[in-house]
Structure 1
């Protein structure tokens, strides 16, 4: 995600599915665990913290969900429909360390 924001800042939206009880918790977890990480130091220095925060606020949408549930665990049907219409690319960075899990379609 950092590289996408750094080399392709004109991307319209990035939806981040984050395992959390609700969307507010997902946003807090994203800020705490992702945005504050060292990974963002390069883009933070390049853009400045204020500009990066504005870019993230406009283009990055942290939503609560879980890939192991139907509809990715997204309860809001309007949000699911919006995502269905807008998403062109999906990058899965989730992992399960139980090697007996099955794919869910």
Structure 2
């Protein structure tokens, strides 16, 4: 029985050492502002996805440059302790840069020609 318990603990700890990280790049130059949700509620091992993150209030007109999802050590620990029923994850949205990209548009709305 002790060997089974030791095996379960070792498997749980080794799963916690894994890194789950995904990045989506939109092509927009990243800026300094971020919208973060460190405990996005996910269920059934991630089969039930978390709610959408509303980045519009934080990013405004600058748009979204990067979207990252990852499972931290604490997220994995909680998932293990709940046997995967509750599987939180971290979602980070990096806003676009407010700086000019070098392209200029005439203020009068004409195409410049």
Shorter-chain TM-score bucket reads under 0.3
TM-score, normalised via structure 2 length: 0.26
Relative to its length, the structure with more strand (as a share) is 2
Structure showing the higher helix proportion among its residues: 1
Quick check: which has more Rg, 1 or 2?
Answer: 2
Normalised to the residue count of structure 1, the TM-score between the two structures is 0.27
